[in-house]
Amino acid sequence: MINIVAKNIVKEGKIEEFKALALKLIKESRKEEGCIEYNLYEDIKNSNILTFIEKWKDEEAINLHNKSEHFTSIVPKLGELLKTDSDVHLYKSVS
**The pLDDT of residue 72:** 97
> What's the CA gap between 16 and 78, in Å, rounded?
11
pLDDT digits (tens, 9 = 90+) for 5-22: 999 999 999 999 999 999
Q: Domains plus CATH for the chain?
A: 2-92 (3.30.70.100)
- pLDDT of 95 > 90? The answer is no
pLDDT digits (tens, 9 = 90+) for 32-41: 999 999 999 9
pLDDT digits (tens, 9 = 90+) for 42-92: 999 999 999 999 999 999 999 999 999 999 999 999 999 999 999 999 999
